[in-house]
Amino acid sequence: MSLIELRSISKTYKSAGLDVEVLKDISLRIEEGEYVSIIGPSGAGKSTLMTIMGCLGLPTKGTYILDGEEVERVSDRELSRIRNEKIGFVFQAFHLLPGVKAIDNVMMPLLYSRKVPKDARQRAEAVLDKIGLGHRMTHTPGQLSGGEQQRVTIARSLINNPKIILADEPTGNLDSKNGVEIMKTFDRLNREEGTTIILITHDREVARHAKRILTIKDGEIESDQWNENFQKSQTGPARSGAE
């Protein structure tokens, strides 16, 4: 059974009274432990696809099965649980609470769990250590560099031990050096922890970090290829979308 399965997914929005089809009959399987990039130009439908895979929106047509559950049949309350427990999100904008210590920002998803674990602080300390920010856990976002802030968001995405990390343009607000460090973090999480990583990007250098590269154009999958240079790309450069 695939971790993610999309069956003939389409998404249509209303715009000025007209139907605009953003995704067109997308079928896709992603297995647990895969490292996948979804690349395409602005307006191709990448972010809409991520919204559906992240259970942040439903398709107009088709079926989405996540870890054995048919998402369209799940209640809103259960969808919130799935998002909180099975999926970690990393966005281009960091979405950290200003003036709040890194460790407390990382702990936020635990506050929405069905039962806040007694070891919440220890878990937050552990994930910050894992991504190399154990020495910065009491600093607020304003005291951290852009790269450090993005690593805090990655730590926050990991706090509930999710099966999937969905990252939307994760280097887009970073300079080249910090972009490299963020991509090394994703590479390591997939290689050492077996975390399923899905990158949404317009940057081919970022996309090449993944083992599998999906190209989307005009709402359709144009190609689905294995990256023959996968191991080499994990140690190579990663450009930032901010360049």
CATH number of the domain residue 162 falls in: 3.40.50.300
Amino acid (one-letter) located at 58:
L
Query: Is 98 a domain residue?
Result: yes
- How many angstroms separate the CA atoms of 99 and 143, rounded? 9
| Phi (first) and psi of residue 225, to 5 degrees | -130, 150
Contact criterion met (CB below 8 Å) for 166 and 54: yes
Which long-range contacts link 182-191 to residues 24+ away (Cβ below 8 Å)? 182/147, 182/150, 182/151, 182/154, 182/238, 183/209, 183/238, 184/238, 185/131, 185/132, 185/151, 185/154, 186/35, 186/154, 187/35, 187/234, 189/154, 189/158, 189/165, 190/33, 190/35, 191/234
Query: Is residue 180 in a domain?
Result: yes
Q: Check residue 233 and give its pLDDT.
A: 56
Cβ atoms of 170 and 92 within 8 Å: the answer is yes
Asked if residue 115 belongs to a domain, the reply is: yes
Per the domain annotation, does 7 fall within a domain?
Answer: no
- Residue 193 maps to a domain: yes
Residue type (1 letter), 87:
I
Tens of pLDDT along the chain (243 residues) come to: 799 999 999 999 988 889 999 999 999 999 999 999 999 998 899 999 999 999 999 999 999 999 999 999 999 989 988 998 899 999 989 999 999 999 999 999 887 776 678 899 999 999 999 999 999 999 999 999 999 999 999 999 999 999 999 999 999 889 888 999 999 999 999 999 999 999 999 999 999 999 999 999 999 999 999 998 886 556 544 444 433
Does 178 fall in a domain? Answer: yes
Separation between Cα atoms, residue 53 and residue 6, nearest integer Å: 8
17: in domain: no
At 114 the pLDDT is: 66
Q: What pLDDT was estimated at residue 112?
A: 75
> Residue 230's pLDDT is what?
80
Report how many domains make up the chain: 1
Q: What is the pLDDT of residues 184-217, one digit of tens each?
A: 999 999 999 999 999 999 999 999 999 999 999 9
User: Which structural domain range is residue 39 located in?
Assistant: 33-52+90-233
